[in-house]
Amino acid sequence: MKYHPEIFVPILIILSLFSQWEQQQVLAEPQVPCFFIFGDSIVDNGNNNFRQTTSRADFLPYGIDFPGGPTGRFSNGRNIADILAELLGFEKHIPRYANATNEDFVGGVNYGSGGAGILDETGTTLGDVISFNEQLSNHKGTVRRLAELLGGRLAARRHLRKCIYYVGLGNNDYLLNYFPKFYSSSAPYNPQNFTSLLIAQYSNQLRKLYRYGARKVAMFGTGVLGCVPLQITKYGGTDSSGCVGTINEVSSLFNQKLKRVISDLNNRLVDATFIYTNDTVTSYGNITNLTDPCCNVLTSDGACIAGTVPCNNREEHFFWDAVHPSEAATMITGKVAYISMSPLYSTTDLIQTW
């Protein structure tokens, strides 16, 4: 979802290096044995298909470019969880938790849910979405299952300490929870206090994830939320770039506080490696349209209208619908995010290839 420039690494160099790597690199097995994913619609790969919620993407034109068609991914094709799994060397995309098998649990599952937030109340207006607390509860069950499959709790813990965990929440706590109240003058907190409340809850949840066995955790901050087309339509662009300035200021505040939490967790938790994963880039190559959705959208929630025909130049659009990035945008941000995740996996082979 992040798309406004904050200098991280020249994108043309990244794409050149990855082009060489993708042509030369052959991985016999993944760089890590397992990959667990927690988050919202940015990573949801169909968990919401099994829930009573309006936050679903199991219909065309969603999935128009995905093998087999719509799956529940909020994209025309792959999402960032898929891209990262591919770059980590997994032969298949990480399966959704909703109908995972024993074999799936060993290699990792995706708990993501469209509409989910750090707070339990976030997303409830959309129906029965899977909050971060519920995702953590589901993972606790997974850890118990792994203990049965691998020969005990100690074996499960040894396995999990080798896994990479993706955690990305907070977007919906602002977009679906706080800002509708803020702009209607009914919010019980000012933006600073709400962010502090959110961060305190998040910190406790991440400590719980650590107690369940996570040791290598990639944390994804909120996107530049004020530049999401749906938010501009709702509240009007107020800054020089045409985005909603107040929303961007608050999402930036969240990310700043999250970085401090990550530093604290690394200092206090033994053998923990939490990293703040930067997926912002300076250029999007062939993507020339950074503002318009590719599909026809509902004005209420920015979702694609079922059965409509999307644009045919999807590789030129950053946004797929009025909230979520296209596969083309995700491929670029995913590759940048993968590089910033390097403390969590071995880069020896990749560096040698470069």
Q: Which residues are catalytic?
A: 41, 321, 324
Residue 71 tokens, joined: 């799956």
Residue 260 tokens, joined: 């401090």
327-340 and 11-24 helices, crossing angle to 10°: 90
DSSP 8-state assignment for residue 85: H
Other CB atoms closer than 10 Å to residue 248's CB: what's the count? 21
Give the sign of the dihedral formed by CA 52, CA 54, CA 60, CA 64. Answer: negative
Cα angle 213-215-221, degrees, rounded to a multiple of 5:
115
80-87 and 327-340 helices, crossing angle to 10°: 50
Q: Which residue do the tokens 């703040």 mark?
A: 276
CA distance 152 to 154: 6
232 and 243 in contact (C-beta within 8 Å)? yes
